[in-house]
Amino acid sequence: KHGIDCARANKQVKRVQVADGAAGKRLTRWKTESATDQTRRGKNAATRIKKSSGKVRGFQKLQSDGQALIKRIEAKCPAASAAA
């Protein structure tokens, strides 16, 4: 868990938003990769499917954790949402 400091809340929210945006870009890429892997056949197909679907789940978790952290910051420091 991250400690929430209201004096630095604006910086924390911005940092999380930037990280969330980066995770969103990667998530889009890996969703496309995963969809492509679902149609592939061959000896490495199962490994590729497992890796790409794992990446999709990981980036989805990053995004949901980031959104949850932003909500926690805004709940503790309401001024952070107004300034960010």
Q: What is the pLDDT along the chain (84 residues), one digit of tens a residue?
A: 567 788 888 888 888 889 999 988 988 888 888 888 888 788 888 888 888 888 889 989 989 998 998 888 888 888 765 544
pTM: 0.71
Question: Hey, what are 19's tokens?
Answer: 């990280």
Residue 54: closest CA among 37, 71, 68: 37
State the Cα–Cα distance between residues 21 and 6, nearest whole angstrom.
23
Question: Hey, what are 28's tokens?
Answer: 């889009």
Question: Hey, what are 24's tokens?
Answer: 């969103």
**Whole-number pLDDT of residue 75:** 87
